[in-house]
Structure 1
Amino acid sequence: MVGEDPAEAASRLGTNTTILASGHADIAVQAYTGRLVIRADSGGKVTEHDLARTIIAVPSRTLQEVPAGGQYGFLRGSSREHRGQVYLLAQAVLGKHVHGEIDPHIWHSVPNMKAAAQVMRDALAEADPPGTSLYTANTERVMRELDELDWEIRSIYASLPEASKNLITTHDGYRYLASTYGLSVAGFVTPVAGSEPSIQQRQRLQRTIRDLRVPAIFLDRNTRMRSPVLREVAHENGVQVGTLYSDSLDDEAPHYADMMRANAHTIQRAVGR
């Protein structure tokens, strides 16, 4: 709710309306019902709220001037009242990737995507019974392709030395990758725009590299230009630097399978020495 008193909006919706004015919240899908809900962190606990009866209040104090520069042009919008301004909601914990108890990066595990394909097949068949045979055939084809992809990248990760399977990344989004393919996330340092890792973070990173003999640090392709300190730490400790796909594709990896293969080969080149 932007530019309006959330209490007034709640009165129009009636009783049992929830107003979220602080903390961290995600829109999620209940796996057992397929229903969209809001999961909000509060006091270390995760509470689910009905999407249709929840108001997320955006306070006026979050209205900020858009920085100069063409790269920020998409934020300026066309509203005459707020041209050159944007409502900026700070992440709940700076430098930390916050997802409550749910890690949304399910695509880094091929078995997860096989499960997702089956869920989509069933949902489409329920919504369009005449198309069931088509959805079933397409899903069978996708499952074969995913099985081949899974076998291929499992072979790559299995070839890595056991002592070199500890990952340090700049994005806390590879836990499904690690758990599925026998890797370990030894640590992560998330770059924050306009802020460098603290001395404590830098020391912790150096200690992790030294103690676990980590051979490489992996940067997120989307934030690699914001990671000069991490590159410095890698250089100081004589370790490789690689870049991984996290949640986007590009011309070099235009499809899901390309992304998964690219990440596997990047990790293999960096740590499989």
Structure 2
Amino acid sequence: MGVVALVLAGLPTPAQAQAAAASAERPRVVASFSILADMAREVGGDAVEVSSLVGPGGDAHVYEPTPAAVRQLAAAQLVVVNGLRFEGWIDRLVAASGYRGPVLVATTGIRPRMVYGAPDPHAWHDPANARVYIENLRVALGRLVPAQAAAIDARAAHYLQRLDAQDQRLRALLAQVPAEQRRAITSHDAFGYLAAAYGIRLASVQGWTTAAEPSAADLARLMRQMKAEQTRALFLENTGNPRMMQRVAQDTGAVIGGTLYADALSPPGTAADSYLKLLNHNLTTLIAAWQPPVARTP
């Protein structure tokens, strides 16, 4: 029977069957959210099959596990989580799934930034911390697939080279912006590590979680701070509600400078569909908002 006949009969072609067999043989790695999943794919390559519980555009702060997530976790050979209290739902989900395999806490070895008496979980926004994530993934994936350990090591090394090159390029761009101009307002306090790494002053309407709305007093305090510091740039976040920031812009006369990606990647084929693209998008969007407007010729 030819390939066309196989397709018409609803049967897999030899190539499809081979691909399915190869996929079935690869250990399943389940990451808690899209940014971790991307890092795991970069390091693991074709040695593992990676999926995420919270996909691109999803908000892990308010995620509600589903029966499909329980089944996904039950079939995993490795679970990767951020830690630092980012996934408040993960322990319940692991218990419900009956998963008994290894759980990699990707932030192991990172000294967290403390906010409101709790660790800020958004550590990936500092490239120095991302290096720790990558190293932890390298070790865990090498243990999961020992026969592929050398290839995993090589992919991790190449990934780190790309990260370092991008970090240097972004620092060179940012150096063109005077330090006193590097001020902005974001929806919630997810970019503290980014600000500390790159010498940026950021304030936020919400705390580090999106689960609670800010009070009227919080908004009033923020608007006073914006006026005192002459902060004119506001930024939306891809998983947030834009109405709150639009209100702040209307009440203060500030300008919305674009959308930043905090806790999730964008859909495949778009501006921030990988960790490296997310980092690049966030910083170049900030830098563009701080540049003086180009004078129009009459």
Task: State the TM bucket, normalised to the shorter chain.
Answer: 0.5 to 0.7
Task: Report how far residue 226 of structure 1 moved.
Answer: 3.4
If asked which structure has higher relative contact order (CA below 8 Å, sep 6+), I would say: 2
Task: Report how far residue 118 of structure 1 moved.
Answer: 1.2
SS in 1 for 2:166: helix
SS in 2 for 1:234: helix
Amino acid at match of 1:223: G
* Match in the other structure for 2:133: 116
Match of 2:253 among 195, 213, 238: 238
Partners in 2 of 1:139 and 1:39 — Cα distance?
23
1:223 equivalent in alignment to 2:255: no
Asked whether the 8 Å contact 2:181–2:290 carries over to 1, the reply is yes
**Bigger CA drift: 161-170 or 124-133?**
124-133
Asked whether the 8 Å contact 1:125–1:132 carries over to 2, the reply is yes
Note the aligned Cα RMSD (angstroms). 3.5
* Match in the other structure for 1:265: 284
1:256 equivalent in alignment to 2:275: yes
Match of 2:229 among 178, 190, 212: 212
* Match in the other structure for 2:121: 104
SS in 2 for 1:160: coil
Q: Structure 2: which 5+ residue stretches go unaligned?
A: 1-78, 86-90, 97-114, 293-298
Asked whether the 8 Å contact 1:215–1:271 carries over to 2, the reply is no
In 2 relative to 1, CA 128–267 (structure 1 residues): closer, same or farther, beyond 3 Å?
same
Asked whether the 8 Å contact 1:118–1:139 carries over to 2, the reply is yes
Partners in 2 of 1:182 and 1:220 — Cα distance?
20
Which has the larger helix fraction? 2
Q: What is the aligned length?
A: 186
1:247 equivalent in alignment to 2:247: no
Q: Structure 1: which 5+ residue stretches go unaligned?
A: 1-33, 41-50, 57-97
In 2 relative to 1, CA 244–231 (structure 1 residues): closer, same or farther, beyond 3 Å?
same
Amino acid at match of 2:126: S
Task: Report how far residue 270 of structure 1 moved.
Answer: 1.6
Q: Deviations over 1:62-81 (max 9, x none)?
A: xxxxxxxxxxxxxxxxxxxx
* Match in the other structure for 2:177: 160
Task: Report how far residue 192 of structure 1 moved.
Answer: 7.0
Q: Deviations over 1:157-204 (max 9, x none)?
A: 3222211223321111101101111112334336979x9754322321
Amino acid at match of 1:161: P
Amino acid at match of 2:261: Y
Asked whether the 8 Å contact 1:125–1:131 carries over to 2, the reply is yes
Amino acid at match of 1:255: S
Matches within 5 A, 1:11-160: 101-160=118-177
Q: How much identity, in percent, do the aligned residues show?
A: 29
